[in-house]
Amino acid sequence: MSRILPVEAHLVLADGSVFEGESIGAPAPDGVATGEVVFNTVLSGYQEVITDPSYAGQIITFTYPHIGNYGVNDEDNESRRPFCGGVVVRDLARRHSNWRAGGDLDSMLVAHGVAGIAGIDTRRLTRHLRDEGAMPGAFGTADQATLTAAATAETGTDGIDMVAGVTCESPYTVPSTGGDRRIVAYDLGIKSTILRHLSALGEVTVVPASTTAADVLAAEPDGVFLSNGPGDPEPLVGVRAAVSDLLGEVPIFGICLGHQVLAGALGGETFKLPFGHHGGNHPVRNLVTGAVEITSQNHNYCVADGSISAVDLTHVNLNDETVEGISCQSFPAFSVQYHPEAGPGPHDSRYLFDDFERLMATHQTRGR
């Protein structure tokens, strides 16, 4: 039996840095895949990361060297398909071993048309992105001149509405698995694990990002959830307007991009972090209890501290002191920058879904 030889590939960043590797996953169109190159520090959960819609327009670099060792399965997908621009790994496992595995990572990438590159010195790449910041890049089997031109032409995610490409086309319902609440969830790039937690509180109607406040209120929800999602919050004018109209009408809970949208609806400002927060071990202090929570995070933008006067700061990132949570003083609404559902990641912050239930119980709106 003949052994299939690896196909040489390169990763080129917009600043001209070149990394050598070999092609994995699906072939990139014309030998070129592009996107904003970021790094994620999780030690496991690669399938959940790859299928998180928040990575739309980005090329994911895994800092952990061995990826694919326990395979993949249908249950761990966080969305209907991957939306990322590609995957960069040091070593793709040749064999997977896990009783839950239904296949291997390389085959999953091929099935969904996601290109990847392995054999990359991810330590060098991560240090470079840490020092210089996340930046556009291109990888594939094309010649270096072509990849360099593609990396230079890549615009990244700044100023682009990435949510339009990942949100659902029409509303759908997730049945309750426990509670009796009626929740409307804005799909800005929502994850399956979030829906599992919300459905434990009640029936969840997931709506497209373009849904108006009037349509949401017509469903007479007990609460509104603003999901995670990809890219820059600034272009999401319509979503912010809808949330602004919902404030005071119904309890609101937002996470990640939903947190940034809520802040924007309250007049807050956002800015782009140098290389973002992507990983499953970020320490966050809960300023209400004083406890330190280890959190799962995935975002490139952040709410500017002090840009909103009518909120209480509830959570702070201990690595860089950035805003991680707010609570409105005048409306039943709160949000966090990180992922309390943690798919993947620790479970320290799942109490926030219970906080949402208590907020809905305190501010009952249905039938009033």
Instruction: Quote the DSSP letter at residue 80.
Output: S
Unique residue bearing structure tokens 């595995």: 101
Residue 158 lies in a domain: no
pLDDT at 367 over 90: no
170 and 277 housed in the same domain = yes
CA 227 to chain centre: 9
pLDDT at 366 over 70: no
What mean pLDDT comes out for the span 300-313?
A: 95
- Please report which confidence band the pLDDT of residue 365 belongs to, taking 50, 70 and 90 as the band edges: low
Residue 3 lies in a domain: no
Sign of the alpha-carbon dihedral angle for 214, 216, 222, 224: negative
Residue 309 lies in a domain: yes
Residue 188 lies in a domain: yes
At 323 the pLDDT is 98
Give per-residue pLDDT as tens, 122-173: 999 999 999 999 999 999 999 999 999 999 999 989 999 999 999 999 999 9
pLDDT at 300 over 60: yes
Residue 326 lies in a domain: yes
Pairing label, strands 252-255, 223-226 = parallel
| Residue where a domain stops, chosen among 106, 133, 153 | 153
**How many angstroms separate the CA atoms of 91 and 106, rounded?**
12
Q: Give the dihedral of Cα atoms 155, 50, 87, 45; nearest 10 deg.
A: 140
Active-site pick, 154, 203, 324, 341: 341
107 and 221 housed in the same domain = no
Kindly report whether the global pTM for this prediction surpasses the value 0.85.
yes
**CA triplet 357, 167, 322: central angle to 5 degrees?**
60
Side chain identity at residue 14, one-letter code: A
Give per-residue pLDDT as tens, 27-46: 999 999 999 999 999 999 99
At 353 the pLDDT is 98
**How many angstroms separate the CA atoms of 345 and 339, rounded?**
9
| Residue where a domain stops, chosen among 153, 180, 196 | 153
Residue range of the domain that includes 261: 163-362
Active-site pick, 84, 256, 302, 328: 256
Residue 284 lies in a domain: yes
- Please report which confidence band the pLDDT of residue 201 belongs to, taking 50, 70 and 90 as the band edges: very high
Active-site pick, 197, 259, 277, 339: 339
185 and 203 housed in the same domain = yes
| Residue where a domain stops, chosen among 100, 121, 153 | 153
Count of structural domains, the chain: 2
Q: What are phi and psi of 283, to 5 degrees?
A: -80, 130
CATH number of residue 88's parent domain: 3.50.30.20
Helix (H) or strand (E) holding 144: helix 144-153
Nearest to 232 by CA among 260, 208, 259, 253: 260
Residue 1 lies in a domain: no
Give per-residue pLDDT as tens, 315-339: 999 999 999 999 999 999 999 999 9
CATH number of residue 178's parent domain: 3.40.50.880
27 and 113 housed in the same domain = yes
104 and 222 housed in the same domain = no
88-112: string of b/e by CB count within 10 Å (b at 16+)? bbbbbbeebeeeeeeebbbebbbeb
Q: Is 168 a catalytic site residue?
A: no
101 and 140 housed in the same domain = yes
Q: Is 256 a catalytic site residue?
A: yes
133 and 222 housed in the same domain = no
146 and 291 housed in the same domain = no
16 and 128 housed in the same domain = yes
Three-state SS for 228? coil
287 and 138 housed in the same domain = no
Residue 15 lies in a domain: yes
Give per-residue pLDDT as tens, 238-264: 999 999 999 999 999 999 999 999 999
Sign of the alpha-carbon dihedral angle for 94, 98, 109, 347: negative
**How many angstroms separate the CA atoms of 267 and 249, rounded?**
18
What mean pLDDT comes out for the span 93-120?
A: 97
At 22 the pLDDT is 97
149 and 171 housed in the same domain = no
140 and 282 housed in the same domain = no
**How many angstroms separate the CA atoms of 242 and 357, rounded?**
22
